[in-house]
Amino acid sequence: TPGVRGLKAYDPGHDLVAFRRRFAGRAGDAALVELGSNENPYGPSDAARAAILDNLHAIHRYPDPLGGDLKRALSAKHGVASERILLGNGSHELLMQLGQVFAGPGLDVAAPEVVFARHAFAVFALATQAAGARMRVAEPLPRDATMPLGHDLDALLAAITTDTRLLYVANPNNPTGTWFGADALAAFIARVPREVIVVVDEAYAEMADAPDYASALGLLDAYPNVVVTRTFSKAYGLAGLRTGYLIGAPGLVAVMERLRESFNVNGLALAACEAALRDEAHLRSACARNAGQRTALSESLRARGLEVFPSQTNFVLVGFGRDAAPIERALTERGVILRPMGGYGLPDCLRISVGNPDENRRLLAALDECL
């Protein structure tokens, strides 16, 4: 399709595997510091690791195609029926599939449109293009707003036309780290026409601790056009296992199930995620440590005169007031991997994942050599 013709393959920004090889075997202050992909530096619950080992004996068998046990565990956690949950090979797969199902060819409009914000998660644009739909990109709040570069919900609403079928919004958002509060969310959802599917991507929800933050899960009963996506990649520390999930109206989930690849979540991932859900203490501890380090890192970066955007995630967007590409390259040479933001239209910024105290200390030391 024309959409696919215009796509570029995923580019992680640098050859991470080559860097891992180059820094292999180096320990302590000489080891590679990976702060480019918003991973959890504390890793998963020990119970998740144990579940992987316990299930190794069965890897010659196909996994449960329905993921029943994990869905039941999620159903208990969120207080929603299993029929409202869809599992994905990472939430990335679900976001792509949403585009295919709700903005693909053959709908009631000739050219379906998908609305999302500038500086939103890159997969929103990818899913739209892959579906052959039209992108309608809303400008974010200005850089001098209370929530700089945050989602401008009025602008998102204004971008909706009669041809809009899908709207993606991440709360908190990547790559800005920004969020919007419960009242703003409820008012926004109430104003979106019911024929538009609203995807609230909550990949970082577990890490949000602002008093005004609320998940959209509480709105699902009232709004069958709203779906929430979540992931085990961030707060649960299981990025390598590739598991995410979606919660929505039973009818919507049933439609999505038709397209799902039967074994899209592997057996080790199913077992590990279920175990991870049971270890709430580990989740709470990882989130608390992340919040503490996020505050400390933000303060340290501001003390260096840098612009640090407010964040409710496990990363901070940092403005350098000039082209940040040379700084990023110099840091990479020192073994500190961050995410350049040129591709997101923010060339003066870098996105820095919040590491553990040691990683953050090394990042700041390397930064002091480069600034």
Residues that bind ligand PMP (CB under 6 A): 38, 90-92, 121, 170, 174, 201, 203, 231, 233, 239, 244
Angle between helix 325-333 and 357-370 (nearest 10): 120
Identity of the residue, 178 or 298, whose beta carbon is nearer to ligand PMP in the bound complex: 178
CA distance 21 to 14: 13
Q: Is the Cβ of residue 44 or residue 90 nearer to ligand PMP in the bound state?
A: 90
Rank residues 188 and 245 by Cβ distance to ligand PMP and give the closer one: 245
Q: Beta strand 315-319 with 244-247: parallel, antiparallel or unpaired?
A: unpaired
Minimum separation from the CB atom of position 66 to ligand PMP (A): 20
Gyration radius (Cα) of the chain, Å: 20
CB of 317 to ligand PMP, least distance (A): 12
Q: Judge contact between 68 and 208, C-beta under 8 A.
A: no
CB of 305 to ligand PMP, least distance (A): 27
**Cα–Cα distance, 292 to 350 (Å, whole number):** 21
Residue number of the CB closest to ligand PMP reads 90
Nearer to ligand PMP, 91 or 97 (CB): 91
What stretches of 215-356 show up as alpha helix (H) in DSSP? 250-259, 267-278, 280-303, 325-333
DSSP state of 338: -
C-beta closer to ligand PMP: residue 63 or 366: 63
Q: How many Cβ atoms sit within 10 Å of the Cβ of residue 141? A: 20
- State the nearest-atom distance from the C-beta of 95 to ligand PMP, in Å: 6
Q: State how far the Cα of 239 lies from the Cα of 59, in Å rounded to an integer.
A: 20
The smaller minimum CB distance to ligand PMP, of residues 91 and 264, is found at 91
The whole-angstrom separation of Cα 288 and Cα 222 is: 32
CA-to-CA dists, residue 356 to 95, 136, 213, angstroms: 29, 38, 24
Q: CB 122 → ligand PMP: shortest distance, Å?
A: 9
What is the smallest separation between the CB atom of 131 and ligand PMP, expressed in angstroms?
Answer: 17
Which of 120, 184 has the CB closer to ligand PMP? 120
The CB-of-2 to ligand PMP minimum distance in angstroms stands at: 26
Query: Which pair of tokens denotes residue 24?
Result: 């292999």
